[in-house]
Amino acid sequence: MKITAYLVFLALSVFFISCNESVDKEVDTKEVFESKDDLENLPFDVRVKREAEGKIGIPANENYTLSVHKAHLNADNQEDAIVLVNRLQLAIDEAAKSNNAAKMAELGYMGNYNYFIYYDGKLNKFSNPITVASSPEAKLKVIFENIQSEVYKDVSIEYRIRNSAFRNYYLIKDGVLQIMFQWKLFDYIGTASPEANFISFEKGTMSSFKDIVVHEGKIKDYSPNVSNTYSYEPIVEKTPVQLHRFFFDPKTLKYYTKK
């Protein structure tokens, strides 16, 4: 049986990566964690704000949003966290100074304005920010899934590009944070013929990691009259049509499909 990697690329990925080569690259948290005694002694809610502003380079007068989402993300029994940062106002301000303000607004200010940071509870350290090229009109959404273990969670990040949504699945292993899978959730919202996928997990066939199964989805009670595609939250229902089954390869730390 020949096993071929099933690589998923977004239509605009080449553009985004060329704008910022750090997008979707592996991040070695052992190297990027910084030891700052003055920060580590601060209350967590104060420290997380200073860590984010310092690592991303956010000035004190910038209007941005930050949220903290806690979960057990490894087997050390210490609570960890994912910090989400959105810089929509910066995107609007930069667009206003350009010659293409109207077009940039139409495209949802797509660019590098959404970030997330991983906090390791045992090490008491924050990673460098990871940029998710997307529209800052929609904040990132973090979803915690039991993929490799029922004891702790894995991280997935959902983001929007115009009238579509995508999800990246990240693996934290031996201090390294990397994408192990990504897929489109839906597309063409606001048109007569939207597309949707339903993603589920089943017992692993090739490893202890669960298989990822993609079915054709259907949006419940869909109407093309969507006033704001960035805040629209469709309910995607599973259909009987299975499109793909992916399994995890422990050697490459990626998901593949069989052909």
Which of 22-31, 136-145, 162-171, 249-258 shows the lowest per-residue confidence on average (mean pLDDT)? 22-31
pLDDT digits (tens, 9 = 90+) for 207-254: 999 999 999 999 999 999 999 999 999 999 999 999 999 999 999 999
State residue 164 phi and psi, 5-degree precision.
-135, 165
Instruction: Kindly report, residue by residue over 134-143, the tens digit of the pLDDT.
Output: 999 999 999 9
Query: Of 122, 123, 120, 52, whose CA–CA distance to 87 is shortest?
Result: 52
DSSP H or E segment with residue 95: helix 88-96
β-strand 27-28 against 3-4: which pairing, if any?
Answer: unpaired
Whether 152 has a pLDDT exceeding 60, the answer reads: yes
**Mean of per-residue pLDDT scores for the chain:** 87
> What pLDDT, on the 0 to 100 scale, is given for residue 228?
95
- Residue with the bigger pLDDT between 85 and 29: it is 85
Residues 112 and 82: their CA atoms lie apart, in Å, by 18
What is the pLDDT at residue 185? 98
User: What single-letter amino acid sits at 45?
Assistant: D
Residue 121: how many CB atoms within 10 A of its CB?
Answer: 17
Is the per-residue pLDDT at 14 higher than 70? no
Predicted TM-score (pTM) of the model is 0.84
For residue 118, give every residue at least 6 positions away whose Cβ sits within 8 Å of its Cβ, in sequence order, or none.
27, 29, 73, 80, 81, 82, 83, 126, 127, 130, 155, 172, 177
